[in-house]
Chains A and B, each alone.
Chain A
C-alpha cells in the first residue's frame, strides 16, 4: 500500500539556522508533491508544489527538493525564525486517483530565539 513517512519527532532548532524536514514515500509514483503548514487550531495552508520532473523549487526562504529515485522530498527553511514554528505536512497525489492527496502525519518544527 502507499505509505508516506515524516519524522514524528519534533525538530528543535535555533533561530537563524536552516531547518530541514524529510518526507519519504513507498509504493508510489506521484506526479507531484506538496508541502503544507499547519498552526495549532487551524487548517493546513499550502506552501509549495514540486512536480516529478523538477529537482528543486524555491519560494523566498523555502526550498523543496524531490528525488524520485530515493523516493524522498526535503523541505528547507533558511534563516529560520520563531514565526516558522508550526507543523509541516507533505502530501502526494495518489497514483490511483489524481484528485486525491495522501498526507503524511507531519513534523512539528520549533524555532527558538
Chain B
C-alpha cells in the first residue's frame, strides 16, 4: 500500500505565480480532504470531496484557491496568483467510506517569495 501520494514535496515560487499541488489518494478511498498547516493556525480544512464531488469548500481562503478532482485517483489544489501569506504545508488526506480515520500524505511545503 503506497499510501497517499503528494507532489511536489517542496515548492518555491515567486509572488504572482500559479502553483498546482497534486494528490493521489489511497486506492478505494472515496473521500479526499485538502488541509493547510501553519504555526499560527494549525491544521485547517480547505475543501473536501466525496466520490469526486466537492462537498464543502468553506475553508478555501479566497477565490485565488481552487480544487478539482477529475477522477477517483487524482486531485489538484491550485493557487493563482500566489501570495507570500500562502506559504504553508499543504496536506492531502483520504478516507474510506464508512470509516472515521483519515490517512494523510507527506505534505507539500510551499514557500512563496
Residues of A within 8 A of B (CB): 32, 34, 41-46, 49, 89, 93, 97, 99-106
Contacts and interface: CB of A to CB of B under 8 A. Distances in A.
B106 A43 contact: yes
Contacts of B91: 43-44
A33 B109 CA distance: 27
Sorting the interface of chain B by its residue count into under 10, 10 to 19, 20 to 34 or 35 or more gives 20 to 34
B34 interface: no
A99 B50 CA distance: 9
B14 interface: no
**Which secondary structure dominates chain B's binding surface?**
strand
B104 A49 contact: no
B105 A43 contact: yes
B63 to A, nearest CB: 21
Given A99-B31, A103-B43, A46 B103 contact: yes
Interface in B12-53: 31, 41-45, 48, 50
Contact of B100 (A32, A44, A97, A102): A32
A42 B103 CA distance: 12
A43 B42 CA distance: 13
Contacts of B48: 99-100
Contact of A49 (B4, B45, B50, B100): B100
A104 B107 CA distance: 18
A100 B56 contact: yes
A22 B88 CA distance: 26
